[in-house]
Amino acid sequence: MLLGNLSIEQIIANLIALGIGMTIHEFAHNYVGYLMGDPVPAREGRLTLNPLVHINWIGWLMFAIIGFGILGSAPISPYRMRNPRWGFLAAVAAGPISNLLLAIIFAIPIRILGNNIFQLPSLLSLILVQTVALNVLLFVFNLLPLFPIDGWHIVYALLPPDLAYSWERHRTTTQYIFFGLLLLSFFPLRGIPNIFGALIGQPAQAITRILIGL
């Protein structure tokens, strides 16, 4: 998504859709982390749906305009949880899962309305569709097993201790891969495919089509 290709109405719809998705995503991390025994989210006032607490505003604007941006941060740690491994897995996975659930919820009225959705005010229909599409995108993106994305931490928690240790040792390598793929998606080189598009865009579009049925 480039700024020149988006109308003001589309940007507004993206900002609203992502504001909802980012807030729910970070709240889910914090709330489940708190349930798993980490007291810090409550201590820092993160157990709220107030977007002012959760959203990284620069990342929010970037994601709405160019299709990528840093969400926010959740002050959760496995070392403060009752069960460091499984508690942390639940807290980390709660973020992307919440985005998928949010997409499903917003897809319901689209399914009910069908093509009649386009009889709604254009901004409202855009918000509904983009809330589904962008939350699916957040879901798929955050499952990538590359540091610092949620997917890396999910894999880390699922691995047995010996393999988890090896995974941790290669954290920096996966981080370099992540930023390398990101740069290639914005500054493509001739003959090199858009790997991010294949890993994120295509699955996200397929899931979105299934959900909204349009």
Range in 64-68, 83-87, 145-149, 162-166 the model is least confident about:
64-68
How many residues does the structure list for the chain? Answer: 214
Q: What are the tens digits of pLDDT across the range 4-14?
A: 477 889 989 99
The dihedral sign for the CA sequence 68, 134, 200, 28: positive
Q: What are the tens digits of pLDDT across the range 129-185?
A: 999 999 999 999 999 999 999 999 999 999 999 999 999 999 999 999 988 887 777
Residue 3 has what pLDDT? 45
Residue 67 has what pLDDT? 66
Name the DSSP letter for residue 81: S
Structure tokens, 151: 């997917």
Residue 68 has what pLDDT? 67
Is the pLDDT confidence value at 86 over 60?
A: yes
Are the C-beta atoms of 46 and 27 separated by less than 8 Å?
yes
User: What's the mean per-residue pLDDT of the chain?
Assistant: 90
Residue 1 has what pLDDT? 43
Q: What is the pTM of this model?
A: 0.90
What span, in angstroms and rounded, lies between the C-alpha atoms of 147 and 208? 25
Residue 2 has what pLDDT? 43
Higher pLDDT, 125 or 67: 125
What span, in angstroms and rounded, lies between the C-alpha atoms of 198 and 185? 11
What span, in angstroms and rounded, lies between the C-alpha atoms of 15 and 129? 13
Burial of 119 (0-12, 13-18, 19+ CB in 10 A): exposed
What span, in angstroms and rounded, lies between the C-alpha atoms of 54 and 30? 10
Q: What is the 3-state secondary structure (H, E, C) of 25-47?
A: HHHHHHHHHHHCCCCHHHHCCCC
Q: What are the tens digits of pLDDT across the range 89-138?
A: 999 999 999 999 999 999 999 999 988 888 899 999 999 999 999 999 99
Are the C-beta atoms of 71 and 23 separated by less than 8 Å?
no
Are the C-beta atoms of 34 and 97 separated by less than 8 Å?
no
The dihedral sign for the CA sequence 160, 172, 70, 214: negative
E strand or H helix at 168, and its extent?
helix 161-169
Is the pLDDT confidence value at 45 over 80?
A: yes
